[in-house]
Amino acid sequence: MNETGVVDLVREAMWVGGLVAGPILVTVLLVGVVVGIFQAATSINEMTLSFLPKLIAVMLLTLLIGGWQLQLLIDFARRIFERIPDVGL
């Protein structure tokens, strides 16, 4: 495998990582902003109020798109294993 193959592999790994983690990170960000605005408006500074909605949102999102994320990771792993003969020793 030459240098461009390694660069392509790293680029693809970063892309897959972003696709898998991106929706969860965006969801946590949005829920955190909404909860923060609610806490600022009501002067409630309860720690569990900021943690539980994020946890529930991540769990629901994982139930909704977890299969797609898993399939994406499986496809990426399969492509990596298919490239093993190209490495050469």
What does residue 3 show for φ and ψ, rounded to 5 degrees?
A: -65, -40
**Residues contacting 86, CB < 8 A, separation 6+:** 1, 5
pLDDT of residue 71: 98
pTM: 0.81
Going by the DSSP 8-state scheme, the letter that residue 44 receives in this structure is -
**pLDDT more than 90, % of the chain:** 72
pLDDT tens for 35-78 read 999 999 998 888 888 899 999 999 999 999 999 999 999 999 99
Tell me which residue of 16, 4, 23 sits closest to 62, measured CA to CA.
Answer: 23
Between 7 and 76, where is the model more confident?
76
Residue 89 pLDDT exceeds 60: no
What does residue 85 show for φ and ψ, rounded to 5 degrees?
A: -65, -25
